[in-house]
Amino acid sequence: MTDAARDGADPEEATSAPPSVSALLGPPPRIAGNRLDWALGAVLLTILALLAIPGEALLGPYIAGLVMKAMILALAAISLDILIGQAGLVSLGHAAFIGLGAYVTGISLEEGLYDATTILALTVAASALFALVTGAISLRTSGVYFIMITLAFGQMLFFAASSLSQYGGDDGLTLWSTSELFGTGILQDDTGLFRVTLTALAGGWLFAGLLAGSRFGRVLRAAREAPIRTETLGFEIFRYRLAAYVIAGVIGGVAGFLLAHQAEFVSPAAAAWQRSGDLIIMVLIGGMGTRSGALLGALAFVALEEGLSLVLHEWRLIFGPLLVLLVLFARGGLVAALARLTHR
Amino acid sequence: MSTALFLIQLLNGLQLGVLLFLVAAGLTLVFGVMGFINLAHGVQYMVGAYLALAFTGLTGNFFAGLALGLLAALVLGLALEFLIFRHLYDRDHLDQVLATFGIILFLNEAARTIFGPTPLTLDPPEILSASIPLMDGLLYPVYRLALIAVGLLVALGLWLVVNHTRTGMLIRAGATNPDTVSALGVDIERLFLVVFGFGAMLAGLAGALAAPIFAVEPNMGDDLLITAFVVIIIGGIGSIRGAFIAALIVGLVDTLGRSLVTDLLRLFLDPSSANQIGPAIASMLVYILMAAVLFFRPTGLFPAKGAA
């Protein structure tokens, strides 16, 4: 059933007077409590910041790298949550932006461009352009068709990356040196990169929070709940959604930029559809519509992946059924579970 | 490109199309009738291939292996429906994506653990292992021709079932308007079980038939699943006819694209860049096709829903 059909069939819609703007765009839905969302994120980020002070000295290079990877994925998951949790747009191609950012970075470095700000600007421009074009086409569809068309664009990017034979093709590209920020080696040093990544994550988290509370965020949610009413009120849903898609894409691209620096390696696998699936899992196990949930989800995902693989080499044998059980019995994700605990 | 080579590519494309149809048929019905996104459908294909391989090894006979493999694939499909999927029908699509993604992880890893990560091969049965000359200088394996024939026969059978039996009528009604069907007193749960088991078996059949042609490996279902999704999106969700036509189109476009695009590009690019861009464009071709179809027809070529 299309959204239009459902709206049309709603008897209330036909008889009641049109709701006022303030009623429609009222306070954001308290999925798990807005205050909890801010508090949880602040706690998580503070813990990460405390880890960043001693840096590698405390964690050791392996764990530090893992935490960095988790933070980068968390940034991408937060951006995906803007789409899924706010706009109600389930994208199964979000990893494409990570891949795009990583490849723009990798190719720039390979071509001898070492200035981080220039590379970042290129990354943002490329992600925005890709999001603008693919978003404009994808948003013509809705529901399942949207899931599939975003997947298709993700696959296109994946195959495009695989075909870059002068940049490693299927095997990926090892980066022998990474970029310089304002002439300093801060991005080349693990502790420095950790801090930069944390700053980017905190920035993304804060931005997503402000976005959710803004008029823009309210229109996105209104359009998700009642597209026809929102349209009738004079909002051009398409533009809002496209803007959200571009914003999420750019943040995803920045995550790719950071990933290339952290891994010192880029490969098409960063853009694979399974990676997009992972991002959705992170958003959902955290609790969708809550940016701190996406943050927590990404950290939990990486911790689970790593923890389970310590227990069993074939960790997916445990992780797969765990996901199924999570869906069947723990609805609303970790944040909802936390909310239930704190309300007791 | 010579005529003989072109004909071989045409047959290979047809063969891929037929396999895609077998997978897509179940996918589009499960999707159309139950509104259920089953990402684990591709795993059924992988499971079918491994089961056929294992049972052929056990019995020493390809056909016995095929039959037992199909039966086991059906049992697995029914078990999954009963244990997991049944509880997800009225959940939103995200939950379904997540749960079926979990099943993919589990079954892929299970296959890797049991059979090892290296690709395995299965020999085609003795009587179908020959090649026959189709025209001068063109030998084509009989097994591949048999595969195309079986696929077309199954398509015909499916068309008969869907269009000329009572169950088929219910399936079509369910794809168009499941609420009404349920309200009319049809045991929708049993209908779902039938559709699901049948779809799982068809995917298993595709995997078993593909085993002698492609390498049997743990992740073989993933890529095929995505292509099968492309097929049902192009064909229109819930439409068997759409899935059939789209499967053949996608199979042909993909196969012919891989051999023709590079040649075409050579006409107006220098050979080295053509060799580089060609394969990339060829791999993207079906996705470009899907994006183009959705651009002009946002619900596919033959949408089943909203038709009534």
Instruction: Choose the most confident range, by mean pLDDT, from A163-172, A332-341, B66-75.
Output: B66-75
DSSP B208-221: HHHTTTS-B-TTHH
Q: pLDDT band for position A10 (50/70/90)? A: very low
Q: Which residues on neighbouring strands pair with residue A115, listed in sequence order?
A: A180
Interface subset of B 23-82, CB within 8 angstroms of A: 31, 37, 39
pLDDT of residue A248: 96
**Could you read off the pLDDT of A101-132 as tens digits, one per residue?**
999 999 998 888 888 889 999 999 999 999 99
**A193/B293 Cα distance (integer angstroms):** 44
**Which residues of chain B neighbour A225 with C-beta distances below 8 Å?**
none
**A76/A295 Cα distance (integer angstroms):** 9
Write the residue in B94, B106, B283 that is nearest to A159 by C-beta: B283
Question: Counting one residue from A and one from B, how many pairs have CB atoms under 8 Å apart?
Answer: 130
pLDDT of residue B206: 92
Please, what is the average pLDDT of chain A? Answer: 81
Write the residue in A90, A152, A288 that is nearest to B230 by C-beta: A152
pLDDT of residue A204: 93
**Which residues of chain A neighbour B273 with C-beta distances below 8 Å?**
none
Closest CA to B289 of B237, B227, B222: B227
**Residue A14 pLDDT > 70, yes or no?**
no
**Could you read off the pLDDT of A32-85 as tens digits, one per residue?**
457 777 888 888 888 887 777 665 566 677 888 888 899 999 999 999 999 998
Write the residue in A163, A166, A324 that is nearest to B99 by C-beta: A324
A157–chain B Cβ distance below 8 A for any pair: no
**A170/A164 Cα distance (integer angstroms):** 8
CA A159 to chain centre: 21
A27 Cβ neighbours under 8 A, 6+ residues apart: none
Pairwise CB contact (< 8 Å): A144 & B277: no
pLDDT of residue B305: 56
Interface subset of B 223-262, CB within 8 angstroms of A: 226, 229-230, 233, 237
A115 Cβ neighbours under 8 A, 6+ residues apart: A179, A180
**Which residues of chain B neighbour A149 with C-beta distances below 8 Å?**
233, 290-291, 294
pLDDT of residue A56: 58
A211–chain B Cβ distance below 8 A for any pair: no
pLDDT tens for chain B, 308 residues: list them.
577 788 888 888 999 999 999 999 988 888 877 778 888 898 999 999 999 999 998 888 888 988 999 999 999 999 998 888 888 888 878 888 888 988 998 999 999 999 888 888 888 877 777 777 777 767 788 888 889 999 999 989 988 888 888 888 888 787 777 778 878 888 778 888 888 888 899 999 999 999 888 888 888 888 888 889 889 889 988 888 889 999 999 999 999 888 888 788 888 777 777 777 777 788 888 888 888 888 888 888 887 654 43
pLDDT of residue A133: 92
pLDDT of residue A24: 41
Mutate to test the interface with A, among B106, B250, B253 (most CBs of A within 10 A): B106
Pairwise CB contact (< 8 Å): A317 & B109: yes
Say which residue the tokens 């909802």 belong to.
Answer: A336
0.90 exceeded by the pTM? no
Residues, chain A, total?
344
Q: Which chain A residue lies closest to B104 (C-alpha atoms)? A: A320
**B234/A223 Cα distance (integer angstroms):** 27
CA angle, B240 then B244 then B250, to 5° = 135
Say which residue the tokens 């998700």 belong to.
Answer: A224
Q: In chain A, what percentage of residues exceed pLDDT 90?
A: 31
A322–chain B Cβ distance below 8 A for any pair: yes
Interface subset of A 10-39, CB within 8 angstroms of B: none
**Coil/strand/helix, residue A237:** helix
* A189 DSSP 8-state letter: S
Pairwise CB contact (< 8 Å): A319 & B298: no
**B72/B95 Cα distance (integer angstroms):** 27
